[in-house]
Structure 1
Amino acid sequence: MVKEALGFNILRAKVVTFKYQTVENMSVVKEKIIQEIESIQDEEMLNNIHHVLQNIYSKKSIIILNDEQKVKIAQAEKDYLEGRFYTTDTLFEEIING
């Protein structure tokens, strides 16, 4: 019984030590992140980091598009508005009938 209690206390001490190390490591990581962010001079990069952080803590999904993606979406919208698209029925008809 004494050995079991002693073993439990050792295990509990290891868990407490691990938790302390994890908290300490987290504070070190946080400090490194803060230092890196403070050294950034690029406003666009800071805005992107801000958007990423907002996305992490927001239930909304924020999608950040690059310039190429924005151009492709604009072209797709233009094609749609000008009638250059296929309906699902048309595509299935072409697949079935060749």
Structure 2
Amino acid sequence: MKTFGFLAIGFAAIISSGCAVKGDTDDAASKHDPVGPNMTAELNLGHSSDSILSKYGKPLYKKGRTDTDGKKLEDWFYPDAILSFKEGNLNAFKPK
């Protein structure tokens, strides 16, 4: 009976040490690092939508609206950033 108790305790210790070591070894921060360069680092306000379209390609999707002054506003959604245009020129941007 004593042998069975020692085996059970030893088995439990081995299992618990194995489970503690087998955890996720990847760094959590490395999973969320961007794959490519940050596109917003190269942008300046006032760039035309045509120049951005030729440099970065088509966005995933666009959302358009009109402001109270009747000016056309567009938001372009890229994997790395959201770009906001006013009358065809870059008005604001932020990384995702």
Q: TM-score, structure 1 length as denominator?
A: 0.33
Larger strand fraction of residues = 2
Asked which structure has the greater RCO (Cα within 8 Å, sep 6+), the reply is: 2
Bigger helix share:
1
TM-score by length of 2: 0.33
